[in-house]
Each structure stands twice: as structure tokens, then as C-alpha cells.
Amino acid sequence: MRTASPVLTGRFRDIVARMGAVLRAQREIDAERVLRRYRHLLDQPHEAPCLNEIIPVSREEDIFENANGVDPRERTSDHPKFERA
């Protein structure tokens, strides 16, 4: 099997090196473009919610009733009852 000449090998390496440089330069241009486009989002301070924070989803008395096994249909008279017609 024949091996490539050193001149052809050098040319090939030069072409590959130039292509790599062009790709790196294009990636850098794209990164700068994205930063310019979304800079307003990066500059805004935002509050991330605490992951351990408990967010109440219902009233405290509902939680108490459910925890104590009270049937929600048997509520006191201060809650409106809706009956079927």
C-alpha cells in the first residue's frame, strides 16, 4: 500500500487547521450575537422561588378538616351548601 507524500499530508493538515479556525471564529460570532440578543434577559434580576418553600393551596380550615377525617360535605352552617335540584 502506498503512503501519501509529505507535501500532500502537509497541505491536508493545513486545510483542516484552517477549517477548524473558521469554525471556531464562527462559533465566537454566534455566541456574541446571542449575548447581544438576550442581554436584556441576563441583566434583569429575577427571584427564583425557594425549592423548600411550602405554597398553601387551600384554606387552613380545609386542611384541618381533611386531616381530622371530617367529611367536607358536613361543614358548619357558615359555609354555603349547594344541593342538587
Q: Dihedral of CA 64/66/70/76: which sign? A: positive
Structurally, how many domains does the chain consist of?
A: 1
Rounded-to-integer distance, Cα 34 and Cα 47, Å: 23
Residue at 52 is within a domain: no
Residue at 70 is within a domain: no
Domain that holds residue 2: 1-42
Residue at 53 is within a domain: no
DSSP run (H or E) holding 11: helix 6-43
The tens digit of pLDDT for each residue in 6-46 reads 899 999 999 999 999 999 999 999 999 999 998 888 777 66
Secondary structure of residue 65 in the 3-state scheme: helix
Model-wide pTM > 0.85: no
Rounded-to-integer distance, Cα 39 and Cα 84, Å: 57
Residue at 54 is within a domain: no
The tens digit of pLDDT for each residue in 35-77 reads 999 888 877 766 666 666 666 666 666 665 656 666 656 655 5
